[in-house]
């Protein structure tokens, strides 16, 4: 584990290493970054060797996609029509989940400011393998109308591995549904292994993320 540097100017006061007097009078050392988070590297989890088992599990994964309720940018307004009667994505086994621990799919719905990217990375890393990313709208592909903005990223796939892109500004809910269809197809054919790809190219992704997030006051991999 990496030592916490108390002189880091971005480190919050409550996260600094310090000595605390316990109720019984003994003095203990606490280091919140080490105590609260685990920063071990992500691991590659191989699919089952037996083809038929993996095929069956992939079918189950594709028919039960739990989407993290995390909206970024203007595209998050396309999610409510999907869970309400007009487009009703529950019929396709797509459901919303409020916590990253239980989610499988992350819909990046539009432009990502640098500040949000940090939260997106933390949430993505808390999701369990296998996990999928759907990038919605042109902003995630090349920056879209924000391509020369000082505060948004242009290409999402430099920071997170993306399974499905949905082009448009804004794509309609039908396009998002078709994106889920495409994701299902990828999972069923065993081509949605981006979580392992993230673990394999971890250093490259981390370097890219740190290049743009200047106030990196969290562990390298927080799950």
Q: Which residues bind other proteins (CB under 8 A)?
A: 38, 43, 45, 56-57, 60-61, 63-64, 69, 84-85, 88, 90-91, 93, 95, 97-99, 101-102, 104, 128-130, 223
User: Closest approach of Cβ 18 to other proteins, in Å?
Assistant: 20
Nearer to other proteins by Cβ, of 102 and 189: the residue is 102
Helix axes 202-212, 114-126, angle to 10 degrees: 150
Nearer to other proteins, 63 or 215 (CB): 63
What are residue 202's phi and psi, to 5 degrees?
-60, -45
Residue closer to other proteins (CB basis): 93 or 168: 93
Least separation in angstroms between residue 211's CB and other proteins is 27
Q: What is the smallest separation between the CB atom of 223 and other proteins, expressed in angstroms? A: 6
169 CB contacts (<8 Å, ≥6 apart)?
A: 137, 138, 139, 144, 145
**Looking at beta carbons only, is 151 or 189 nearer to other proteins?**
189
What is the pairing mode between strands 105-109 and 132-136?
parallel
Residue 149, helix vs strand vs coil: coil
Q: Smallest distance from the beta carbon of 172 to other proteins, in angstroms? A: 19
Q: How far is the CB of 37 from other proteins (least distance, A)?
A: 11
Nearer to other proteins, 68 or 135 (CB): 68
Please state, in angstroms and rounded to a whole number, the distance separating the CA atoms of residues 11 and 4. Answer: 9
Nearest to 123 by CA among 205, 131, 194: 131
Smallest gap, in angstroms, from Cβ of residue 84 to other proteins? 7
- Report the Cα 177 to chain-centroid distance in Å: 20
Q: Which helix (H) or strand (E) holds 29?
A: strand 27-30
Q: Rounded to whole angstroms, how far apart are CA atoms 54 and 64? A: 15
Q: Which of residues 88 and 197 has its CB atom nearest to other proteins in the complex?
A: 88
Instruction: Give the containing element (helix H, strand E) for 188.
Output: helix 173-188
């Amino acid at each position: 584990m990496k030592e916490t540097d108390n002189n880091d100017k971005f480190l919050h006061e409550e996260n600094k290493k310090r000595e605390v007097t316990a109720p019984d009078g003994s003095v203990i050392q606490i280091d919140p970054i080490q105590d609260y988070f685990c920063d071990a590297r992500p691991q590659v989890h191989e699919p089952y060797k037996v083809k038929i088992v993996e095929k069956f599990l992939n079918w189950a994964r594709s028919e039960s996609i739990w989407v993290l309720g995390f909206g970024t940018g203007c595209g998050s307004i396309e999610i409510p029509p999907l869970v309400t009667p007009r487009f009703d994505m529950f019929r396709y086994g797509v459901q919303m989940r409020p916590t990253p621990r239980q989610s499988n799919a992350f819909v990046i719905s539009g432009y990502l400011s640098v500040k949000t990217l940090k939260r997106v990375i933390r949430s993505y890393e808390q999701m369990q393998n296998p996990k999928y990313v759907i990038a919605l709208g042109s902003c995630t592909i090349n920056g879209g109308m924000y391509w020369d903005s000082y505060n948004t990223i242009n290409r999402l796939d430099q920071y997170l591995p993306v399974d499905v892109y949905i082009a448009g500004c804004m794509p309609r809910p039908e396009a998002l549904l078709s994106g889920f269809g495409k994701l299902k197809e990828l999972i069923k054919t065993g081509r949605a292994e981006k979580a392992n790809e993230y673990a394999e190219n971890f250093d490259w992704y981390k370097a890219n993320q740190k290049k743009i997030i200047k106030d990196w006051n969290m562990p390298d991999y927080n799950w």
